[in-house]
Structure formats: C-alpha cells, structure tokens
Amino acid sequence: MKYPFAHMFRLGLVGAASMALAGGALAADFTMRISHQFPPAHHSAKNMEQFAADVKAATHGRVDVQIFGSAQLFKPNQNHAAVASGKVEAADIVGFTLGGTIPEMNVTLIPYFMTGLDKMKKFPASEAARLLDAKLAEKGLTNIAWMVDASDGIFTSAKTPLVKPEDFKGVKIRGLSKLFDSGLVAMGASPSAMPGSEVYQALQTGVIDAGFTGVAAAYERKYYEVQKYGVASNIILAHDILVVNPAWWNGLPADLRDAIQAAAHKAEQRSMPVDAQVPPADVKRLRDKGMEVTVLNAAQEKAMSDAMQPAVLKNFLAAAPDAAKLVELVKKL
C-alpha cells in the first residue's frame, strides 16, 4: 500500500518523538566530568550535585555534568594533575591540598586569620583571590569557584578534650599540611598529615590519638563512633575550588561558559556561612550522637591563636614567594 509523502513525513516525526521519549533526552553537546574526594553525605558533595542540576537547567541539557566522588577516579592529590593534563574536565579540590605545589594556597591555614565572615564574603571577588587564580593558571588550572568547605574546625580525641595548648603535648594527631602542622608542633603535638578519607580508620585502630576536620565533616565521617570528645572553634578557612581544564573551558561556546560560571557562583553563595559562629546545628548533631563537644569562647580562641599562629605565619612567609603580598591583601578584606 502506498502512502502520500506528507503522511510518511508525519509518521517519521511521530516515530522520532517516540524514540526520544523512550530513550530519554538527546545526548548532550558537552560532557563535564568532575572528580572529588567527598563521600555522598558530605555537604561539599551535595553542593556539587546541586551544581550539576543548575548547569543542566541553565544549559537546557547541552552540558552533561558527571560527578565522580569518594576519590573513585583519582586520589585527592592527583586531581589537579588529572585536570591539567585533560584526563578529566574538572575537579572539586580542597584548596590547601595544593599547598605543596602552590605554597600561597596555604594562606587559609593560618590559624584564626581568615575566618571572619566579612573576609569570607569578600574573598572570592578580591585581589587576593585573583592572585591565587593566577597561580593556579600557571599550573594549568582555570578556577571558576571559591566555595567554603568549612570556616571552623574541630579537634576530636578519645581520652581527654583538647581545649588548651598544653593539652596537645604528646598527642598523635591528624594534621593537614606541613604548614598547619607547624602550629600543632608548637603546642607539643605529633601530627601526621592524611586525607579525610583515611582518618576514621586511623582513629579506630589507634594509629593516631586525635583528629582534625570541619565540624560538619566530623559528623558526616562518623568520628563520633571512635572519638569521645570534640573541641570546635573558627580556626581555619577551607575552600573547595572548582577547577577546569583550560583547553576544554575555552573550547566551550561563550553562552555555555557563562551558564556554568553562573552555576558556580550559585555554589559559592550556597557554601557561605550565615554567620561567623561554629554552626550550632552541626554541634548538636555530634552531641546527639554522644560526643562531648566544647565550643571555644573568644578568650580560649585567643590562647590557641597565640600558641599556633606565630609559627604558622613565620613558615608561610618563608615558604611562599608572594606570601607577604598575599597576607597584606587578606588583611585589607
């Protein structure tokens, strides 16, 4: 039986529509794979999931954001090289993990130096951030977001709370970097730097006596199961930086770059604390799980700052070529 051309054309449209419905949306024009170290329950992982949804909506599905968390693609210290070499389009990296490659990135680890709320809000658009972005560019990374991972920290322990500098003497503790750890050494502690994903087991097996992480992360990583005490304060600023491969980024159409950048800005805004105090809700969650949590008052924070900051600042100024300039820029925020 012969059909008129117009009828066959209509049948073709119906068939194409049916295939689209059956198979889902048409393939995206571009893929953005993001590697990161955070477990699914971590607030930074959730922020990236929302970022992916924002990009999909803003680009009408033209950019497919695929997230690979929990260090399933690369270890935390491998992400920057993977992005720079083009093995993956993007990574969400804890900024200070790049401190060995870019010493200036460690500025946020100077105890009690950048945790003021005004400084946190001003930083992403500041000259200080631009200086660090330029350093990242020199290493083959284009940074599109400065997200606050934590503006607080909690020292956890099994035997006694670590409230005063003298409480740290002889304690084997999870450190963060050589720079930050110099402040722990100044108080008599014995730090071991390790990524957050390894700390739980180290605490559980007694490889270390005490941990250090963000207050929210202590809950998300279930430190309360292996640590009885927690001492929280606004000690450091940890950024998650969303870095992309420059060649991939520059190869995107301008409208898609703008849409992704806008979604990244939303991720920055979502990450910003509502105030400068240690979040009471995060403290409550730990207490509800049985951890005895102390939040340091201003005088106690000053005692910790006086014990840690001089050593950390001295080492920072000695290790980073543009450290002095960066410190002055941060002071102006």
Predicted confidence (pLDDT) per residue in 239-296, tens digit: 999 999 999 999 999 999 999 999 999 999 999 998 888 999 999 999 999 999 999 9
Nearest partner of 100 among 71, 77, 131, judged by Cα: 77
Reported confidence tier of residue 4, pLDDT bands at 50, 70, 90: very low
Show the CA angle centred on residue 159, arms to residues 155 and 162, nearest 5°: 35
Is residue 181 predicted with pLDDT exceeding 50?
A: yes
Of the listed ranges 5-19, 30-44, 163-177, 181-195, the one predicted with least confidence: 5-19
Using CB atoms within 10 Å of the CB of residue 186, give its burial: 0 to 12 exposed, 13 to 18 middle, 19+ buried.
middle
Nearest partner of 195 among 48, 47, 105, 71, judged by Cα: 71
Question: Residue 151: which residues within 8 A CB-CB, separation 6 or more?
Answer: 115, 117, 120, 234, 236, 237, 238, 273, 276
Is residue 23 predicted with pLDDT exceeding 80?
A: no
* pLDDT the model gives residue 29: 96
CA distance 128 to 231: 30
Nearest partner of 89 among 244, 302, 304, judged by Cα: 244
The token duo for 49 is: 């999931």
Phi–psi pair at 146, nearest 5 degrees: -110, 95
Q: What is the mean pLDDT of residues 49-59?
A: 98
Of the listed ranges 1-15, 22-36, 201-215, 223-237, the one predicted with least confidence: 1-15
* pLDDT the model gives residue 26: 60
* pLDDT the model gives residue 5: 40
Q: Beta-carbon neighbour count of residue 3 at 10 Å?
A: 10
Is residue 49 predicted with pLDDT exceeding 50?
A: yes
* pLDDT the model gives residue 293: 98
Using CB atoms within 10 Å of the CB of residue 24, give its burial: 0 to 12 exposed, 13 to 18 middle, 19+ buried.
exposed
- Count of residues for the chain? 333
Helices (H), 158-195: 178-186
* Mean pLDDT for all residues in the chain: 91
63-68 and 30-36 strand pairing? parallel
Is residue 301 predicted with pLDDT exceeding 70?
A: yes
Is residue 89 predicted with pLDDT exceeding 80?
A: yes
Q: What is the mean pLDDT of residues 112-136?
A: 96
* pLDDT the model gives residue 195: 79
Q: What is the mean pLDDT of residues 156-163?
A: 96
